[in-house]
């Protein structure tokens, strides 16, 4: 790994680390995939978007109220980027954070998303000592719903037509978990 990369969390097969210049190509490849973008807010992702994103994220630090920090999800053995996890520290209540995750299509179905989000939750509750984690998912995104529920997150809401995506209003589920609930897992 590059010396400038900061590793925040390591699991058996993955590291959650800072983005770096080597990530631009693989990041662009999965972000520009229509299947990966299906339930995401972006579409028609351009290479320049990836360059700007990686440059910005390589200078960010997690846990800054009102900001999003993206962790690069990389394979431990090769440092190959396979996805990313998001951490949004709420401005008005920084003891509550929102998370999100995206995995390259060719790496889905291998347990990597579960491993990455588990590592992220551990970091959030143990290292950052957050009170609560929330996550939102498109009600049609069955894979994300299953993952959040498998990790013990509770569905707290069904938000009707909660955001505009690709020209249509989309319903979302809101999930959450308290630090006290994480300790029991």
Q: What share of the chain is helix, strand, coil (3-state, %, to 5)?
A: 30, 35, 35
Q: Show the domain range for 136.
A: 7-183
User: Quick one: pLDDT at residue 118?
Assistant: 97
Whole-angstrom Cα distance, residue 162 to residue 20? 33
Whole-angstrom Cα distance, residue 135 to residue 173? 8
Type and span of the H or E element at 57? helix 47-57
Count of Cβ atoms closer than 10 Å to residue 25 Cβ: 12
User: Quick one: pLDDT at residue 151?
Assistant: 96
Whole-angstrom Cα distance, residue 32 to residue 26? 10
User: Quick one: pLDDT at residue 44?
Assistant: 85
Residue 121, domain member (yes or no)? yes
Residue 39, domain member (yes or no)? yes
Q: What is the pLDDT along the chain (185 residues), one digit of tens a residue?
A: 444 468 889 999 999 999 999 999 999 999 999 899 888 888 889 999 999 999 999 999 999 999 999 999 999 999 999 999 999 999 999 999 999 999 999 999 999 999 999 999 999 999 999 999 999 999 999 999 999 999 999 999 999 999 998 889 999 999 999 999 997 76
CA atoms within 13 A on the CB side of 119: 25
Residue 115, domain member (yes or no)? yes
What CATH number is attached to the domain comprising 151? Answer: 3.40.630.30
* Three-class SS state of 156: strand
Residue 1, domain member (yes or no)? no
What's the token pair of residue 175? 């999930």
Residue 2, domain member (yes or no)? no
Residue 170, domain member (yes or no)? yes
Residue 82, domain member (yes or no)? yes
Residue 100, domain member (yes or no)? yes
User: Quick one: pLDDT at residue 3?
Assistant: 43
The four Cα atoms 23, 25, 31, 35 give a dihedral, to 10 degrees, of -120
Phi, psi for 83 (deg, rounded to 5): 170, -170
DSSP state letters, 12-52: SSEEEE---GGGHHHHHHHHT-HHHHTTSS--S--HHHHHH
β pairing state of 132-138 and 96-103: parallel
Q: How many domains does the chain have?
A: 1
User: Quick one: pLDDT at residue 184?
Assistant: 78
Residue 47 CB partners (closer than 8 Å, separation 6+): 24, 28
User: Quick one: pLDDT at residue 41?
Assistant: 82
The pTM of this model reads 0.93
User: Quick one: pLDDT at residue 46?
Assistant: 94
Task: Write b or e for each residue in 57-79: b if 16 or more Cβ atoms lie within 10 A of its Cβ, otherwise e.
Answer: bbeeebeeeeeebbbbbbeeeeb
């Amino acid at each position: 790994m590059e010396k400038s990369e900061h590793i925040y969390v390591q699991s058996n097969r993955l590291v959650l680390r800072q983005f770096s210049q080597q990530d631009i190509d693989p990041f662009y490849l999965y972000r520009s995939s229509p299947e990966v973008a299906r339930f995401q807010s972006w579409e028609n992702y351009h290479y320049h978007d990836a360059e700007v994103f990686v440059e910005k994220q390589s200078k960010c630090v997690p846990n800054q109220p009102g900001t999003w920090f993206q962790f690069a999800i990389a394979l431990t053995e090769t440092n190959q980027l396979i996805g990313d996890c998001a951490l949004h520290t709420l401005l008005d209540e920084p003891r509550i954070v929102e998370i999100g995750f995206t995995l390259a299509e060719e790496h889905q179905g291998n347990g990597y998303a579960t491993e990455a989000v588990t590592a992220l939750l551990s970091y959030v509750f143990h290292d950052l000592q957050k009170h609560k984690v929330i996550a939102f998912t498109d009600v049609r995104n069955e894979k994300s719903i299953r993952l959040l529920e498998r990790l013990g997150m509770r569905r707290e809401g069904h938000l009707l037509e909660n955001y505009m995506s690709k020209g249509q209003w989309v319903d979302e589920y809101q999930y959450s978990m308290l630090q006290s609930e994480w300790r029991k897992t």
